């Protein structure tokens, strides 16, 4: 734990970070910006994992391990998303969400 800092303060920060990510995810119209927002959301949850581990069960390591897994998955997801974005750009010369609406059919 961090001296003098309560868990509530940490959680306040992560909650705010999480909802900033959600806000970005909903309002941005660009695939890359959406990806950035997703990273923010993921980081908020990773922080939660870490600090819950640290404050509540300091003798265990599960939180840290899961954080590593989340980072790995986030990296994988980003790599794939970038591949898709590039391919899409090559096809329709745009990465705006509105332009790929016809994918729903």
Partner 1 sequence: MERILFYLLSIIILIFAISAVSSRKMLRSVIYLLFVLCAIAGLYFMADYNFLAAVQLTVYAGGIVVLMIFSVMLVHHIDMEMEVAGKTKQALTAALCLSGVVVFLIAIYQHPFAIVPTQNTITVAEVGTLLLGYQAGGFILPFEVISVLLLAVMIGGIVIAKAGKKPQEKTPKS
Partner 2 sequence: MDISHTLLIPLIPLLIFLVLGVFYNKIKPIVSGYVGVLGMLVSFGLSVYTAYQYFLVNGQIDGVYQSISQKTVWMRFTDTLHIDMGVLIDPISVMMLVVVSTISLMVQIYSRGYMKGDSGYTKFFAYLSLFTFSMFGLVLATNLFQIYIFWELVGVSSFLLIGYYYTKPSAVAAAKKAFIVTRFADFGFLIGILIIGYYTGTYDFETLNQPDGAAILSWTSGSFMGLSILTWALILIFIGGAGKSAMFPLHIWLPDAMEGPTPVSALIHAATMVVAGVFLVARLFPMYYFVENGFALQVVAYVGAFSALFAAVIAVTQTDIKRVLAFSTMSQLGYMMLALGVSGYEGHEGVGYTASMFHLFTHAMFKALLFLGAGSVIHAVHSNYLKDMGGLRKFMPLTNITFLVAALAISGVPPLAGFWSKDEILVAAFEQNKLIYLVGVLVAGLTAFYIFRIYFGIFWGKETQYKHPPQESPASMTIPLVILAFLSIVVGFIPFSEFISADKTGFEGHLNYPLAAIATAVGLIGIGLAFVFYKKENDLSDRFVHAFGQFYTWTFHKFYFDELYLFITKKILFKNVSYPIAYFDKKYVDGSMEGIGNKTVWLSEKIKKIQSGRLQDYAFAFVSGVVVLALIFVYFLKN
State the residues that interact with partner 1 by CB under 8 A. Answer: 1-5, 7-9, 11-13, 15-17, 19-24, 26-30, 32-33, 35-37, 39-40, 43, 46-47, 50-51, 54-59, 61, 64-65, 67-69, 71-80, 82-87, 89-91, 95-96
Taking alpha carbons only, the member of 48, 24, 54, 53 closest to residue 37 is: 24
The site for partner 2, by CB under 8 A, has a size of 13
Q: Is the separation of the CB atoms in 48 and 14 below 8 Å?
A: yes
Look at residue 92 and give the partner it binds from partner 2, partner 1, none, a contact being a CB closer than 5 to 8 Å depending on partner kind: none
Q: Is the separation of the CB atoms in 25 and 38 below 8 Å?
A: yes
∠ CA 35-38-44 to the nearest 5 degrees? 150
One of 3, 4, 8, 26 touching partner 2 (CB under 8 A): 26
Cα 1 from Cα 10, distance rounded (Å) = 11
CB closer to partner 2, 93 vs 102: 102
List interacting residues with partner 2 (CB under 8 A): 22, 25-27, 29, 34, 97-98, 101-105
């Amino acid at each position: 734990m961090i001296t003098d800092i309560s868990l509530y303060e940490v959680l306040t920060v992560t909650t705010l970070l999480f909802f900033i990510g959600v806000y970005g995810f909903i309002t941005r119209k660009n695939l890359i910006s959406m990806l950035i927002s997703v990273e923010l959301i993921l980081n908020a949850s990773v922080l939660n994992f870490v600090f819950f581990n640290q404050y509540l069960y300091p003798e265990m390591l599960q939180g840290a391990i899961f954080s590593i897994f989340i980072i790995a998955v986030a990296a994988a997801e980003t790599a794939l998303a970038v591949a898709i974005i590039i391919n899409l750009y090559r096809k329709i010369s745009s990465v705006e969400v509105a332009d790929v609406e016809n994918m729903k059919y």
